[in-house]
Structure 1
Amino acid sequence: MATAFATYDLSIPTQTRGPSKGLDTRRLMAFSALAIPVSAAQLPIINFLPSIYAQQFGISLAALGTIFLLERVWGVFADPIVGILSDRTRSRFGRRRPWMAVGVVIFALASAALFLPPQGVTPLYLGVALFVFYLAYSMIQIPYWAWSGELSSDYHERTRVAVFYNVATAVALLLIMLLPAAIDQLGLGDDRLKLAVMGGLVLLALAPAAWMTLRAFPERPSPDVSPTKRLGFLATVRIIAQERLILKIILSDLAVTMGQGVRGSLLLFVVAHYVGRPEWGATLMLTQFVFGIAAGPIWLQVARHIGKQRTAIVGELVQVAINLSLLAITPGSLALVISLTIAQGLAQNSGNVMLRAMVSDVADAHHQKTGQDRTALFFSAFSISMKLGLALAVGITLPLVAALGFDPKAAQNTSGALTGLLVVFAVGPALAHLASALLLRGFTVDGAASSHGYAGLQRIGTAYR
């Protein structure tokens, strides 16, 4: 972490982000295109890969949990480094595009290694492939988020950008789930075939999606950078620590991501071993994300009426109730599982959409207060919470259910092991979403405050057109 923050530049001249007209819908759709293959690769990595690598290649749950924990901790270091270097990059292509373009190439190579593995995969192979994969992910995602926060200064328009991004993500998850669901229902192949077709979809979509995103909007002009004003590690950490609202967002997102990670990493195990319907695993994931796509515009309208903070809190509390209801599942109760999956899909976008949009609002408030543009730094800190949340979820959950006696390779697990699996699957996410809702209490940047910030920024610098 010290290396990541040691040379962060604090002298970027101010630029205003005054109220802007609505972004062109077609361009916004093109800008969101890269989220499709990048997000599509994430769901199988968390939800399918542990199960498949455990059952097909014999890697233990404890080893898988450790590998995923270490790889996500690596992301905690990589994200701030990429964010800082992206902020400081000066090229005729902009600050964000070069990092994203190189990241796409590395991402393709790492995805091929993970989705199309050779025979005899070892923990070392998996660890190296994930190391490269998450480096490439950081190179794409951190500049991508920072760029999205710079597209507009309007409070509600930023929510719209976030919704487009999250709907693109939901579309990605829909597409990535269609093929394995079809394989399950038609009985066409095994888990390795599922992994291969999902990887093929990611690789086929990556190049055209990157081309669309990188050409969708011009980047805002790179500010001049003076090399004389830099702060070291402790001072930079202090900047983040003193931004109470960013800390609230980071901790809330950490909780959200942990809940989603616990649920995602155990879903296939619960459906196959507890409910006894393994052929429904991919279909249930598909169902959840279909309803997630439908719910995106709904959450946007809710946020316009009651604000992002209240919307996020309501959504998190709804998810608490849904996850606790999972305790009512019994072996063979497929109808109840489907109903709760639909409810989960309708609620899933609430926290993710609102929290990411709120980062840009806090960055503007900080800009107005200090005269310093630290958007990428704040987004890199936000990304740390996402990666650390998934690391903790997988790193704790898989060894925990193994310690409770669950074995995915066993022909028959004990009733105690299966009960432990269900309790972790239901209660873990419920507690995480409750913590997220509590952490968002007292968030003070709303539409009015954001508009006030725009006016202040207009007085500070030159308007960005």
Structure 2
Amino acid sequence: MPDNASTPWGLGAGLRYGLLGLPLAFCALPLYVFMPNFYATQWGVSLAALGTLLLALRLFDAVLDPAIGHWVDRLAAGPFARLLAALVSAGVLLALAFAALFHPQVAAADALAWAGVSLALTYLGYSLLTVAHQSWGARLGGDAVQRSRIVVWREGLGLVGVVLASIVPALWGVTPTAIVMAVALALGLWALSGAPRPQARVGAAAPLPVHLESRQLLAPWKDPAFVRLLVVFALNGIATAVPATLVLFFIQDRVQSLPSMQGVFLGLYFMCAALSMPLWLRVVARLALARSWLLGMVLSVLAFAGAAAVGAGDAFLYGVVCVLSGLALGSDLAVPAALLAGITARDARRHGVYFGWWNFASKLNLALAAGLTLPLLGWLGYAPGARDAHSLQALTLVYCLVPCVLKLLAAAALHYFFIQMRNGESYAT
């Protein structure tokens, strides 16, 4: 495949580049949806301890991402074989650590420590692959249509991975999940080795003095547009991560559905997100990026406000909530990446650093969601399996109200920074 950004972006190129998004998304969902429930219900780890662990590891992992992004920038400037070897090594680490996370080989008393070590290694491999994959796509360049098409392939195949991850663990268990993950990861890396490659920047890999290296890492924070987008992205991301962290507890204890329905609800949610992406592209064409994202936030608030009315046995009503919130998720997947692409295109030397900070924010969202909401639930009196009125009221409050408040704050910031402010208009169209 030619090493340039002008290669026609057809079906073959899209699959070769985007396929790695499938196992990465497949990996991510169990980490923040199934893992807390797995260790709480099957290994007896307290919610407070899990929340503290997830917060600490996510924060540590997130701090590494900008440095990982800078390292990826340097790798991308050198021989392609060196970059590919680093990606394969990260893939092996990720597959092994992911399998270990869901197969503890210790007594119940040591389960938290096992989770901590295996989760830290999983995060490391995942971060290396994610930042490298995203910055690879950004380096391919092209016009707005080309950049959007690249993002759609990555996010679209990622949604396929999410749908699989929402079904496989619930129906088949953790061992098949680890096997599917490893096979998909190997296929994704093999496909990426033949994907269109961006041109290496001559001389970019030369070592820099320490003070200049630090400037490279902090450069995105001097970009006002990036900082504003990150504020909106963080508020919105936490709002999305809170119900994702608590969804299995809500299904089990509030909806009280059969275990097999967990995969159905999650699959419905993510399939609606995938099916809505062409619709959101049409909305963007009419309303522009920022207003389209704002519409998605409003739809999400309405969905989670409706979830407060769900009671025991209301599977159909909760299915409607999944459909509406899934449709809203499509805007979260399509719009922020397009806004970010417009910003990073102005600083082609630092794609990896920008995406490193972007992933820092993503992981901080998940860390805060798990690290704050799980202990908050325990403090409010909820424990997994509790179905008394007080416990269910606490669960509903955190699952429904907290996301709505955060989404409204994100919507206000989005409107002010990217719709009302004139200097944000170039990124909102």
TM-score, normalization by structure 1: 0.83
Q: Cα RMSD between the aligned structures?
A: 2.4
Residue among 216, 220, 230 paired with 2:199: 220
Query: CA 1:210–1:176 in structure 2 vs 1: closer, same or farther (change >3 Å)?
Result: same
Residue among 415, 440, 451 paired with 2:414: 440
CA distance in structure 1 between the partners assigned to 2:164 and 2:207 by the alignment: 46
1:217-266 Cα distance to aligned partner (Å, 9 max, x none): 12322331354576458745763332111112222221222122211111
Residue among 215, 219, 228 paired with 1:239: 219
Query: CA 1:157–1:95 in structure 2 vs 1: closer, same or farther (change >3 Å)?
Result: farther
| 1:74 and 2:60 matched | yes
Aligned to 1:43: 29
CA distance in structure 1 between the partners assigned to 2:147 and 2:284 by the alignment: 12
Aligned to 1:210: 189
Q: Within 5 Å, which residues of 2 pair with 1:391-406?
A: 391-406=367-382
Residue among 16, 27, 31 paired with 1:30: 16
1:314-351 Cα distance to aligned partner (Å, 9 max, x none): 21121112111211112222211011111111111212
| 1:107 and 2:94 matched | yes
Query: CA 1:180–1:136 in structure 2 vs 1: closer, same or farther (change >3 Å)?
Result: closer
Does the CA contact (< 8 Å) of 1:65 and 1:394 recur in 2? yes
The alpha carbon displacement at 1:27 in A equals 0.8
Residue among 418, 421, 425 paired with 2:392: 418
Query: CA 1:112–1:238 in structure 2 vs 1: closer, same or farther (change >3 Å)?
Result: closer
SS at match of 1:118: coil
> What is the letter of the counterpart of residue 52 of structure 2?
T
TM-score, normalization by structure 2: 0.90
Q: Within 5 Å, which residues of 2 pair with 1:73-152?
A: 73-89=59-75, 90-93=77-80, 96-118=83-105, 120-121=107-108, 122-152=111-141
Residue among 354, 377, 385 paired with 2:353: 377
Does the CA contact (< 8 Å) of 1:307 and 1:446 recur in 2? no
Query: CA 1:214–1:234 in structure 2 vs 1: closer, same or farther (change >3 Å)?
Result: closer
> What is the letter of the counterpart of residue 325 of structure 2?
Q
Residue among 301, 309, 320 paired with 2:290: 309
Aligned to 1:250: 230
CA distance in structure 1 between the partners assigned to 2:428 and 2:270 by the alignment: 33
1:118-157 Cα distance to aligned partner (Å, 9 max, x none): 3535111100001101111111011111111112231232
1:259-318 Cα distance to aligned partner (Å, 9 max, x none): 222111111111111121142222100111111111122222322333222222221121
SS at match of 2:78: coil
Identity %: 25
SS at match of 1:196: helix
The alpha carbon displacement at 1:103 in A equals 1.1
Aligned to 1:285: 266
Aligned to 2:363: 387
Does the CA contact (< 8 Å) of 1:115 and 1:198 recur in 2? no
CA distance in structure 2 between the partners assigned to 1:88 and 1:126 by the alignment: 32
Aligned to 1:198: 177
Q: Within 5 Å, which residues of 2 pair with 1:147-166?
A: 147-166=136-155
Structure 2 alignment gaps of length 5 or more = none
SS at match of 1:216: coil
Query: CA 1:228–1:284 in structure 2 vs 1: closer, same or farther (change >3 Å)?
Result: closer
Structure 1 alignment gaps of length 5 or more = 1-16, 184-192, 451-465
The alpha carbon displacement at 1:23 in A equals 1.7
Q: Within 5 Å, which residues of 2 pair with 1:263-274?
A: 263-274=243-254
CA distance in structure 2 between the partners assigned to 1:266 and 1:306 by the alignment: 33
Query: CA 1:71–1:228 in structure 2 vs 1: closer, same or farther (change >3 Å)?
Result: closer
CA distance in structure 2 between the partners assigned to 1:361 and 1:340 by the alignment: 33
> What is the letter of the counterpart of residue 223 of structure 1?
V
